[in-house]
Chain A
Amino acid sequence: MNDMRIVERTVDTHDVKIDAKDVNVHYGTSHALKGVSVAIPDKTVTAFIGPSGCGKSTFLRCLNRMNDTIASCRVDGLIALDGEDIYDRRVDPVQLRAKVGMVFQKPNPFPKSIYDNVSYGPKIHGLTRNKAELDEIVESCLKKAALWNEVKDRLHSPGTGLSGGQQQRLCIARAIATSPEVLLMDEPCSALDPIATAQVEELIDELRSSFSVVIVTHSMQQAARVSQRTAFFHLGNLVEYGETGQIFTSPQDPRTESYISGRIG
């Protein structure tokens, strides 16, 4: 815990980007999330921390309706993106996901070339007019994801042939290529070495200027380094949510305190 440094940043108060109120999630009969209310501000990095199985991924997947693909999953409550209910009947989840991108816990590149992985999103959303623009997006996204130097000579070899950490960075590049407004990252650095982690953290910090980023992490140091706000989940409850500095220095709830100091986990 000694290298835990909380970056002193001016936390501007932004508009609320995602507003979740009293969200309950059931998988069949098991109650995975219990009455979670979180207001995620725009242009901010929000970290979700908590012990394994506490519902961080579940909540993250509610925010872009990826839970729709799980037949047994039922989501109740209100989640609004820019004030619009994302579970409204008129909302097409496909359109929503173009705005709310996601990097999954396990790297899942398409079994296609590196180039095709990154260019797929821009292609299906018609973000480019020609090949040159597409090339440009691919290059800039791979650079942002700190992968460009390693793959620039083999853009047309399979993405699944990369190492685990490289695959995760490829997935990050793929997610930012569609220029989403919100980027959900489920433990994006769990397979990365410290150098790549630092690069991804730098990227996250950069992304903050244009979108809001929600990151799930098991590394408290990372939460402290990159996020401005932190939410602590425990057994399906949102225990505490506030400014990162405050959560790490003076947690209000005894459960938060014991988790941060390493007693629950």
Chain B
Amino acid sequence: MTDISANGAAPQVRSSILVQDVKMRRRNAAETRFKSYGLIAIAISLAILALMLFTIFRDGISSFRQAQLTFPVELSAGILDPNGARNPADLAKVTTVGYGRVLDVALLKALADKGIALDDPKQATALISKAAPAQLRNIVLANPAQIGRTIEVEVLALGRVDGYFKGRVTRETAERDPQIKPVQLDLIDKMRGAGLVALHFNWNFIFGTDASEQRPEAAGLGIALIGSAYMMLLVVVLSLPIGVAASIYLEEFAPKNRWTDLIEVNISNLAEVPSIVFGILGLAIFINFAQFPMSSSLVGALVLTLMTLPTIIIATRASLRAVPPSIRDAALGVGASKMQTVFHHVLPLAMPGILTGTILGLATALGETAPLLLIGMVAFVTNYSATPLDPATALPVQVYSWASRADPAFIERSNGAIIVLLAFLVVMNVVAILLRRRFETRW
């Protein structure tokens, strides 16, 4: 290509646009390379995401189905209502011990009817969960007219039965297991054949309360769900208005001087403070000083609000700054006040960015565990919390506390709880996306 003529002047070479020259080819190659790096990066992250979801679902999805015993139970009036008056106050006095006996008798009768022989009746009755009498009691108290009749009930089976169905319990482990013997596993096989026990969808896992170490089959996420829902609600209600108001003031009204610079630096620093520090702060301020109730979702929400605020403020300021100054000029030019300019024109344009920041902050808050442990939200709570002042737990804390229990049945539930946590997150994101879309189309 370099045929420079003797006198030094480059001759006019007419190049064809149908042929790529060397430089163009090099530029195109660089572009192709860059595109493939991008594709590889996306493929890797998608693969990791898929792997993560796959393992979570593989290990956790089974917790939504639980081994349940189904058999007819004669609600003997002699035990459940000795007076025969069907008086709710009297009925409530009968303890779960009484219901346990009713269940034992009914199961043995069902086995006899199906022709399943037993060496020892204990072998069969031990397969009923310790949580089952309470279940039956709730059924009866909900409708006392059933007393005296025989009804078909579905109650929880012992956690080991569930484990046997899901492959956690085998004949080898049963040899060393104080809770179940290999001979009982044979019995379970026979009962399964007779339709007395099977895996069913387990609403109790999602909405029930937590249970003690001995009854993994009865443990549910209800209180953690309530706690997390209260906290997310309170965090949005507190941090969004405070954060947006603070950002609007700092961005649109505050003079730019050393003090506002200092505040800006401090807010950025706050966003980087480890979450456990916020937990210690919450313990000192909200519980020890302000005397708010320990373990309550209110305190959890306050701590998470402190954590979320910097994120929301930073995102809001960035999106306010991204609104073109010409829009502000236009509004001021027709005689709008600063406040009208901000609320009529700037804020609506910044809203999608603000929502994105908020959902990022909320997602972090939803998954936050450490500060909640410090303020006592890891406590064992068995009553549904009616208000944010009552003790509660949170989904990530429940994951943590189940994962640290000895019985492997809790590990499965811990994975199931992660699925619920992810579903919670997806719901929150969908709400945010819908809101954002509304603002975007309204311009």
When the two chains form their complex, are residues B335 and A94 in contact, meaning their CB atoms are under 8 A apart?
A: yes
| A174 lies within 8 A of chain B by Cβ | yes
Q: Which residues of A contact B338 (CB under 8 A)?
A: 94
Q: A69-B332, A101-B334 are in contact. List 4 more A-B contacts (CB 8 A).
A: A94-B332, A108-B330, A110-B327, A112-B443
| B contacts, CB < 8 Å to A | 256, 324-338, 340, 344-345, 349, 443
When the two chains form their complex, are residues A121 and B335 in contact, meaning their CB atoms are under 8 A apart?
A: yes
Q: Which residues of A contact B329 (CB under 8 A)?
A: 66, 69, 104, 108
- Nearest chain B CB to A132 CB, angstrom units: 21
What is the CA–CA distance of A153 and B303 in the complex, to the nearest angstrom? 54
When the two chains form their complex, are residues B327 and A124 in contact, meaning their CB atoms are under 8 A apart?
A: no
Counting chain A CB atoms within 10 Å of each CB, which of B256, B329, B335, B336 scores highest?
B335
**Pick from A69, A95, A97: contact of B334, CB under 8 Å:** A97
| A98 lies within 8 A of chain B by Cβ | yes
In the complex, residue of chain A having the shortest beta-carbon distance to the beta carbon of B340: A124
- Nearest chain A CB to B319 CB, angstrom units: 14
When the two chains form their complex, are residues B330 and A97 in contact, meaning their CB atoms are under 8 A apart?
A: no
| A contacts, CB < 8 Å to B | 64, 66, 69, 71, 94-95, 97-98, 101-102, 104, 106, 108-112, 120-121, 124-125, 158, 160, 171, 174-175, 177-178
Q: Which residues of A contact B332 (CB under 8 A)?
A: 66, 69, 94, 97
Top 10 A-B pairs ranked by shortest CB distance?
A98-B335, A108-B326, A121-B334, A102-B333, A111-B443, A108-B330, A97-B335, A94-B337, A124-B336, A178-B334
Q: Do A178 and B335 contact each other (CB < 8 Å), given the known contacts A111-B443, A112-B443? A: yes
What is the CA–CA distance of A171 and B326 in the complex, to the nearest angstrom? 12
In the complex, residue of chain A having the shortest beta-carbon distance to the beta carbon of B323: A111
Q: Which residues of B contact A110 (CB under 8 A)?
A: 327, 330-331, 345
When the two chains form their complex, are residues A109 and B443 in contact, meaning their CB atoms are under 8 A apart?
A: no
Q: Which residues of A contact B349 (CB under 8 A)?
A: 111
Q: Which residues of B contact A125 (CB under 8 A)?
A: 335
In the complex, residue of chain B having the shortest beta-carbon distance to the beta carbon of A92: B337
- Nearest chain B CB to A142 CB, angstrom units: 15
Q: Which residues of A contact B337 (CB under 8 A)?
A: 94
Q: Which residues of B contact A95 (CB under 8 A)?
A: 335
Q: Which residues of A contact B334 (CB under 8 A)?
A: 97-98, 101, 120-121, 124, 174-175, 177-178
What is the CA–CA distance of A120 and B329 in the complex, to the nearest angstrom? 14
Q: Which residues of A contact B324 (CB under 8 A)?
A: 108
In the complex, residue of chain B having the shortest beta-carbon distance to the beta carbon of A118: B334
In the complex, residue of chain A having the shortest beta-carbon distance to the beta carbon of B337: A94
What is the CA–CA distance of A97 and B335 in the complex, to the nearest angstrom? 5
- Nearest chain A CB to B441 CB, angstrom units: 10
In the complex, residue of chain B having the shortest beta-carbon distance to the beta carbon of A71: B256
Counting chain B CB atoms within 10 Å of each CB, which of A101, A110, A174, A177 scores highest?
A110
When the two chains form their complex, are residues B326 and A104 in contact, meaning their CB atoms are under 8 A apart?
A: yes
**Pick from A71, A97, A106: contact of B333, CB under 8 Å:** A97
Q: Which residues of B contact A108 (CB under 8 A)?
A: 324, 326-327, 329-330
What is the CA–CA distance of A112 and B344 in the complex, to the nearest angstrom? 10
When the two chains form their complex, are residues A124 and B335 in contact, meaning their CB atoms are under 8 A apart?
A: yes
What is the CA–CA distance of A94 and B337 in the complex, to the nearest angstrom? 6
What is the CA–CA distance of A97 and B332 in the complex, to the nearest angstrom? 7
What is the CA–CA distance of A66 and B337 in the complex, to the nearest angstrom? 12
